[in-house]
Amino acid sequence: MPEQPVTDADIRLAAAWDEVTAALAAARSAVLDDPDPRNERETADGNRYLLWMMNAITQNAVLPADADRPSFRPMIAATHHLGAAGPDIDYDVALVRGGRPHRITGRRGDATFVGVCVYDAGGAAGTTGLLSSVDLDDLELGPDGTFTLDLGGEDPGPGHNWIPLPADAGRLIVRQYFHDRTTQAGGAWTIERRDGDVPPETLPTPASVAAHVHNLAVQVRWNAGLNQLWGTEYRATPNRFVRQSAAEIVAAIPNPDVVYAMGWWRIADGEALVVHHEPPPGCRWWGLQVLDRWFQCYPDRLAHRNDRQVTANPDGSVDLVLAATDPGHPNWLDTGGHTLGVMFFRWLQTEPANLPTCTVVPIGEVTR
C-alpha cells in the first residue's frame, strides 16, 4: 500500500493539535501547580473543572455555527459551570456576519431583564469586545411581548427597533436574568439575515477544521488562566470586594447593563465569612455568586443567591454567610469544603453606594 504523502493541510492540522496538547498541559498545571494548598475536596473539584472545561469547549467546537445562516443556540449546560457564568442568567448565542443587516423576531417572556449585546469575533487572548447593546424594555413591544429588532443596515429612524451591527461584529448574545425560574417563563427568538447576499454552504475543509482546533486551544488556555488574569494581588489580599465596570472586568463576554464587584475569599476550617451588603434602592436584580479558585460554580450546591432569595435585616441590609457547613443562617452559601475561591457580585443597572464588606468569624459565632 503506497505511503500517504504529508500535505500542507496535514502539517497545519498537526500544528493545531500540538497547540491543544500544550494547552491541556497548561490547564493541568493550573490545577496541580496552584500556589495555594489543596485539600482532598479541592483536588477532586479541580480535576472535575478540567473535565467540565473540556466538555464545554469541545462541544462548542463541533456544534454547527454559520455566520451566514445565523441561529440562536443556548449556552450548553457544561458552560454554566465555568468562567463565573451566572446561575440565574440564560445566554442565547448566535454568530453574525458583521456589516450585514439582520433581524431578530421573538417574544420577551417574563424574565426580570432581557438584553441584547453585539460583540466582535474575539481576540487571540479569548476575550471579546462589546460593540452595541439594548435593553428589550427600551424597545417597542407588542401587548403580548412580541417584538422585532433590526440590526445593521440603515437606521430606519423613530418608531423602529434598531441597533448598529458594525463590520467587525461576530457574535450576538441575548441574556435573560431571572429571580425565580419556577414562576418566570423565558422568552424565545429567532434571527435571520435581511439581505439575500448569502454565499452557498460549503463543506468543512482541512483549513476550517484546523481553525476550529486552534480556537479550542485558545479557549482552553484562556479558561485555565482565568484565575491568573484577574488580579493575583487581590488573591493575596482576600475577603474584600473590588468594583469593576463591564469595560474593566476580565470577562469573555461582559454585560454593559451590570456593575460588578469581585474578590477572593479565604477561610480556614471552622470559619465562616460574613458578607454585609446594603442593597441600593430600586435595583431590579442583584446577586452574589460563590466560586472556587478556578472560577467554577456548582449547581449541586447552594452557591448563589439573588435579592429575592435572601432574608434582610430589620434595617434593610443583608448578611450572606459563606461556610463549608450550614450554620443555621437563612442566607448561607455553601463553599463545598473549599478554603479559597472567588466571589462575584452583580447589580443590574444600578450603582451601589457602598461595596459589601467582609468579616471572618468562627462558624459557631454566626448570628442567626
Same domain, 233 and 361: yes
- Give the pLDDT confidence of 233-245 residue by residue, as tens digits: 788 899 999 998 6
In a domain, residue 2? The reply is no
Give the C-alpha separation, 327 to 345, whole Å: 22
Same domain, 23 and 74: no
Same domain, 283 and 356: yes
In a domain, residue 304? The reply is yes
Same domain, 309 and 349: yes
Q: Of 147, 170, 193, which residue constitutes the final position of a domain?
A: 193
Residue 264 three-state SS: strand
Across 205-268, the runs of DSSP E, i.e. the strands, are: 242-244, 258-266
Burial 262-286 (b: 16+ CB within 10 A, else e): bbbbbbeeebbbbbebbbeeeeebb
Residue 129 vs residue 22, higher pLDDT: 22
- Give the pLDDT confidence of 87-143 residue by residue, as tens digits: 899 999 999 999 999 999 999 999 999 999 999 987 555 457 889 999 999 999 999
Question: What are the cell numbers at 97?
Answer: 456576519
Give the C-alpha separation, 336 to 331, whole Å: 15
Question: What are residue 47's phi and psi, to 5 degrees?
Answer: -75, -30
pLDDT on residue 328: 95
Query: Domain tally for the chain?
Result: 3
Instruction: Provide the residue range defining the domain that includes 144.
Output: 67-193
Question: What are the cell numbers at 293?
Answer: 479558585
- pLDDT averaged over every residue in the chain: 90
**Mean pLDDT value of segment 15-35:** 93
In a domain, residue 56? The reply is yes
In a domain, residue 1? The reply is no
Give the C-alpha separation, 299 to 43, whole Å: 18
* Global pTM exceeds 0.85: yes
In a domain, residue 139? The reply is yes
